[in-house]
Chains A and B, each alone.
Chain A
Amino acid sequence: MKLKEINRTAIQSWSPSQQHPIYLATGTSAQQLDASFSTNACLEIFELDLADTSLDMKSCGTFSSSHRFHKLVWSPHGMDGAGHPNGVLIAGGENGDVILYDPAKIMAGDDDVIITQSDKHTGPVRALDVNPFQANLVASAGNESEIYIWDLNNFGSPMTPGPKTQPLEDISCVAWNRQVQHILASASPSGRASVWDLRKNDLIIKVSDHSNRMHCSGLAWNPEVATQLVLSSEDDRMPVIQMWDLRFATSPLKILENHTRGVLAMDWSLADPELLLSCGKDNRILCWNPNTAEVLYELPTSTQWCFDIKWCPRNPAVLSAAAFDGNIGIYSIMGGSSQAQNQRQADQITNSFGNMDPFGTGQALPPLQMPQAPCPAPPAMVNPLKKPPKWIRRPVGASFAFGGKLVTLDNAPSNPQQPAKHVVHVSQVVTETAFLERSDLLQATLSNGNFVDFCQEKIAAAQDGFERTVWSFLKVNFDSDVRGQYLDLLGYKKEELALKVLKKHLKFKMFDFNLEEEEEEEILLQEVGCTNWCLYLDVDGLITQALLTGDFEGAVDLCILDNRMADSIILAIAGGSELLEKTQKKYFSKTHTKLTKLISAVVMKDWTDILTSCDLANWKEPLAAVMTYARPDEFSAFCDLLGGRLEVSQDAVLQAQASLCYICAGNVEKVVSCWTRAQPTGGDPPAVPPPPLQDLVEKVVVLRRAVEQARRGGAAPTASSVLLEEMMGQYAGLLASQGSLATALAYLSGSTNQVGPARRPEVQPRGLAQGCWRSPPGTGPNYQPFQYPAASLAAPPSPTSLPPAPGFRSQYMQPGPGPSPVYQPLSCSPPYNAPYFPTAPTSSSASSSPTYAPGPLAHGTPFQHGGPGSPVSYMQSPFGGPGTHRLTEINNLWRSVVVGPQNGWNDPPALNRAGTKKKGLENYTPPAPITAPIMGPPGSDPQAQPMSPVSLQGSMDPGQGAFQGPFSGRQQLPPSSGGHPAMPQTSVEGPPGAPTGDHIQPMQSIPAEKILKKPIPEEHVVLKTTFEGVIQKCLAVASDPQTKRKLDDASKRLEALYDKLREQSLSPAIVGGLHNIARSIESRAYTDGLNIHTHIVSSSNFSETSAFMPVLKVVLTQANKLGV
């Protein structure tokens, strides 16, 4: 393809390969005249700008010369130093001159462009060559066998390669050997070539075929083989190129025959020794493979002879050819066609009319369009070289692949004697070794569950106090007394506090010794009494009256009016909870002491006010209060509330503390957002560098596990875990990029399994059917990434997960072992039922009542490890990062193909969610308005004990209808134990009125089994034994830990089924189906079992079976797979 064109009759030389940009120097050719007969001569320099798509070459400088030129060469001499920034241009003149030009000066437009010159040659200088090893050495040759070696550093005294050859003859070419720097060859039209050794300063060999027809027009050394050279013949009778090897110099090694008339010039490509250009009087330009004598390419050229042809040293695909028609063409050897070329022709035709206004129309003619139709001259289809040039044959390459793999080509022979072996290396690239070690440690901790030690190490290794605090808070989650420990960490030592209270109390006692025999009211007052302490029991007549008539409200009002707060409250207690609440409100509106707010919050259980209004500098206090008092279902929300305030505070220190609140709340998402923001890279969550990311993930994973263990609720249902997912995605991506694929999958597992389906519609291209997403190799045809357990995806809160109404709750109350004759749960009216529960602190009756199990919080979506609550919020690119999608897909793949729609260790425990939630509720009894004031040092003094409702009851007339309601619930209390029947046994740390927080079990939770349950009805016990039996069998043969985990998990989750059996809440159809499954398990017909399973699932109510059926499926599938 023709790239450029210069309208000159000139010889040419490319700038050396070092030179950028590429220039072409042209010098008016000697012995050629154009039609003007002008004998002017000039030297011009053009720039080859391939970014310019026109055919024109940009002229960079012109120098008018008195000489015309036979030969032009361009040496890089001086380019490395300051001397000649563009090298040196050496010209052979028609009068025997060798002239050195400075091309930089020509281009700068200077006058003194000639560096130096010599007229040593007696005739025209026809041949020049620059030594490829020493740019300062130039050989020249002319008439009379004259050959000179010029040293550009010492131009005055040229050397000769040896004695002149005899007989004297014109020399047409000289060429330096390309491998051995002191070897020079010359050739003459007579057909003889001579090889000179400059070290010996002598001719060492003559090359001639003695045909007398070889009129040498060109000479070139093989760029790679030192002993080989080619000679071209100008003679039309012998238009050949001979290839000689000096090791066998008696006859040519090869003869390249294709030209039909004499060859005028040759050039051997330095970039590819298998490419030799030649041009001849047959108007052709051929490109040969001189080693095979094959013509690889024929340039589409003009109709004129080319007398000079040159490869561009820098751009190996480019060549220039000078033709006698007065054009120098620049071509690419790589084929293709140029639109510019066609345009040029059109322009020329147009221009030939001057583009004026030949018809006098007043308008210039439009550019002439080349005829296109009906027979569009197809841009001459130019085939590229038959053989790909060496310069496009990429010999090396290393490409990254998924999972930190690097694929490297290796074409080099492992040993020079052997043929090349073409192999590909696949390597694992690990850049974050420390990161991987830490990740491994975390993994190990996750599997062995030794979080306490892990946290302890972290505490020990913590760099700063805050880090230590964070880890301490995290560690607490694995301790037995979570809230107590939190209080400790906040600086509230319960033991100390208890001691202080005790002291104070003793003081009171001594002071009020005389009152000990008085009525219980007074003792109660003592409890309240820290501030409102009343010594006298001065009952006013009015009050007496009111009391006697049963007008509690009136009596209370009177007391309040008389500022007898204690009396009023005591009376209000007797008057029922409504009255009590009213009275409490009145009290708080009337009383204003420092502590009122706190007491108010404690009594009214309204922490929101304190939390929203407290001074943030004292954030620990409200948190401590919440620790102590908050109900489990509020606890997280309160911590969140406080955390939220801290988070938005202006103080950076306080902001950091927010995460502590979130840890207490178990709000992983918030913790993540806090920490992420705390990262130095803040603002760019996706770019957390590996070590901090590992820090974060460690904390999050530990916290998450803690939350999971505790079955404690997490974020509000709507709280998206975008950030968390994103971070986990990033973490997994990083792991994968380091080759730790399995671990990465574990982190992603489950959390993003909705991505596929979610993305699919978007990525569905036109015309592609759904089925186009094919399985990757080896995964089998069953790849259906989207067949995830429908149940797990359908996890949004089902009706069963809604907090039951109070009345509903009572259905789940189970009587303690001690028979409770009056047990009538359903008869309790809710308002009364509820209030009285707390007075019998249920933790004290753990052995007798299941009411106080530490279930998950009742609200919303409990946090689940990557559970189904979160994937919806998975954000796709850009945050997911490239690795993450792929991981996700691989994840899907594994799950569907290998694992099946089951649960890994951190898969969503979706299906028993509803179950656990309900369990939590059924076991939790919210505190009533406080009826017994605080601060009793329980057990220390029987007399000081809070009044038990039971004993209160005793003092009342049970027959009074007005009192019947309030006390009926109380009858669920366990029978009295000793002298103080309802005395809270375990309330060491806290007052009985506020025990809810206090009695929240450590997050480790009492396993459900420990709570007494009804036995499974005898006829269904077989189900349990069968299912557990088959799980045990599976466990015995399962080899990989993942399966084991799954089975363990399944075993646990089947509790949900057993619970239902206990409650006898399953429909007969389902129970029947389960028995059928059990039978099929017995007979090891697992496939049948699965069929029955499918039938049950399809015909039953989802909410009824969702807690255990999928688990059962896992068991069946595994049993089938393992063949137990």
Chain B
Amino acid sequence: TVMQVSVINTVDTSHEDMIHDAQMDYYGTRLATCSSDRTVKIFDVRNGGQILVADLRGHEGPVWQVAWAHPMYGNILASCSYDRKVIVWKEENGSWDKMYEYTGHESSMNSVCWGPYDFGLILACGSSDGAISLLTFTGEQQWDVKKISNAHTIGCNAVSWAPAVVPGSLVDQPSGQKPNYVKRFVSGGCDNLVKLWKEEDGQWKEDQKLEAHSDWVRDVGWAPSIGLPTSTIASCSQDGRVFIWTCEDPTGNTWTPKLLHKFVDVVWHVSWSITGNILAVSGGDNKVTLWKESMDGQWACISDVSKGQGAVSSITDTQQSEQ
């Protein structure tokens, strides 16, 4: 595959310490960044620009992740920090303010992820105290909190929602009928496990426990639905391995791991392209690689990305077979 990765904008964030996350909003017009300098910044990056829109201060520790809510709920950004807090920021009349501050955990908040907009405004957050919270906006500044204790012993590192799919049916619902979505998300933690969670009767239950990693699971990413009945999850770990988990079983019970690659260093982050066919893998050696599944189901590295610039991949297929 001929593949081009070229920098179209480099944003100097002026953060005073390490940046831990950077996320574009839904339309790709704004960039939110967060840093160990305890701040969250929002830049307008349209047309290659970089105008600082907001400098959000409120966290008392390094801010690990930011997540944009679906724009139908307004301009809303969630951030999570080592200070054990999750803050939901909202833009009203051009200025950003705290909409909600959640302090229900005893340790670092490592990951935040908004659910598909079909589910309403719902935020999953994973903590180093091992628990996962689900915060649902119920209106009138009210948030409903559900907590899964001991989701991952000594810490949950990542959460990622499943796309909104009606179980067992890929055809559209009879019109006017509210689809009966099953809410699901995946989490990864310091117990080396990938876990799937499912809401049943308003309660969150562990649905699956996926074991393949031999060290902390650093990140998980549920691939966007591309209309196929297959569900796909990527997980990456301190052990350098990236697994692609697939489930073709409509009941969602049988998940098969496939080793994408074993890297030498820790793999911190995985991110699916919006169309779900490319996976960006960020490793501890400051390398970003892009992976694509070929027609025969094999994953191949299609590009090495350094400082935003793509290069021909140095990862060969032979390395890939090692388990």
Contacts and interface: CB of A to CB of B under 8 A. Distances in A.
A765 B227 CA distance: 24
B207 interface: no
Interface stretch (A86-94, A767-775, A910-918): A767-775
A789 B69 CA distance: 29
B19 A776 contact: no
A431 interface: yes
A396 B137 contact: no
A407 B31 contact: yes
B74 A772 contact: yes
B271 interface: yes
B246 interface: no
Interface string B1-35: 11111111111111111111111111111110101
Interface stretch (B197-205, B247-255, B301-309, B312-320): B301-309
B74 to A, nearest CB: 4
B118 interface: yes
Given A20-B215, A737-B274, A876-B172, A394 B128 contact: no
Contact of A776 (B29, B53, B309): B29
DSSP class of B's interface residues: helix, strand, loop or mixed?
Answer: loop
A774 B75 contact: yes
B164 to A, nearest CB: 7
Contacts of B84: 384
A402 interface: yes
Contacts of A427: 5-8, 305, 308-310
Interface in B223-244: 224-228, 239
Nearest to B309: A427
A145 to B, nearest CB: 41
Interface in A875-895: 875-883, 886, 889-890, 893
A395 interface: yes
Contacts of B142: 767
Interface string B87-125: 000010000000000000011101000000110110000
Given A426-B8, A431-B1, A431-B302, A400 B22 contact: no
A434 B4 CA distance: 11
A408 B305 contact: yes
Given A395-B286, A407-B22, A433-B4, A3 B138 contact: no
B269 interface: yes
A295 to B, nearest CB: 17
A687 B227 contact: yes
Contacts of A425: 7, 9-11, 307-309
Interface in A734-788: 734, 736-737, 762-763, 765-768, 772-774, 776-778
A405 B139 CA distance: 33
A410 B303 CA distance: 17
A382 B106 contact: yes
Contact of B106 (A335, A402, A424, A431): A335
B45 A426 contact: yes
Contacts of B208: none
Contacts of A431: 1, 3, 277-278, 292, 302
A687 B275 CA distance: 11
A404 B5 CA distance: 10
A384 B107 contact: yes
A394 B274 contact: no
A955 interface: no
B307 A394 contact: no
Q: Report which residue of B14, B64, B190, B276 has the largest number of chain A beta carbons within 10 angstroms of its beta carbon.
A: B190
B22 A686 contact: no
A1114 B20 CA distance: 48
Nearest to B149: A339
A1022 interface: no
A388 B82 contact: yes
A765 B73 contact: yes
Contacts of B274: 400-404, 736-737, 882-883, 886
B245 interface: no
A334 B120 contact: no
A723 B318 CA distance: 41
B291 to A, nearest CB: 11
B130 A336 contact: yes
B269 A398 contact: yes
B110 to A, nearest CB: 7
Given A334-B107, A400-B271, A430-B4, A315 B216 contact: yes
A139 to B, nearest CB: 28
A421 B21 contact: no
A946 to B, nearest CB: 56
A410 B308 contact: yes
A74 to B, nearest CB: 17
A397 B268 contact: yes
B283 to A, nearest CB: 7
A1010 interface: no
Interface in A389-427: 392-412, 420-427
A684 interface: yes
A956 B130 CA distance: 104
A407 B192 CA distance: 27
B273 interface: yes
Given A334-B108, A406-B305, A778-B46, A424 B31 contact: yes
A422 B75 contact: no
A763 B164 CA distance: 11
A1 interface: yes
Given A336-B130, A384-B84, A890-B27, A762 B278 contact: no
A778 B154 contact: no
Contacts of A428: 4-6, 8
Q: Report which residue of A337, A689, A736 has the largest number of chain B beta carbons within 10 angstroms of its beta carbon.
A: A337
B161 to A, nearest CB: 12
B288 interface: yes
Nearest to B213: A20
30 contacts: A20-B215, A51-B193, A315-B154, A334-B129, A334-B154, A335-B129, A336-B127, A337-B129, A395-B20, A396-B284, A397-B282, A399-B22, A400-B271, A400-B278, A401-B24, A408-B307, A409-B21, A409-B22, A412-B286, A422-B17, A423-B11, A426-B10, A427-B310, A429-B5, A429-B273, A429-B303, A684-B228, A765-B121, A774-B75, A880-B227
Given A335-B129, A381-B106, A405-B24, 20 more contacts: A3-B154, A20-B239, A51-B193, A336-B127, A384-B128, A392-B82, A393-B20, A393-B36, A396-B287, A397-B282, A398-B281, A399-B23, A399-B271, A424-B10, A425-B307, A426-B10, A686-B227, A766-B139, A882-B226, A886-B274
Interface of A: 1, 3, 20-21, 50-51, 53, 314-315, 317-318, 332, 334-337, 339, 381-382, 384, 388, 392-412, 420-434, 684, 686-687, 689, 733-734, 736-737, 762-763, 765-768, 772-774, 776-778, 875-883, 886, 889-890, 893
Interface of B: 1-31, 33, 35-36, 44-46, 53, 61-62, 64, 71-75, 82, 84, 91, 106-108, 110, 117-118, 120-121, 127-131, 137-140, 142, 149-150, 152-155, 157, 163-165, 170, 172, 178-179, 190-193, 209, 211, 214-216, 218, 224-228, 239, 268-269, 271-278, 280-284, 286-288, 290, 292, 295, 302-303, 305, 307-310
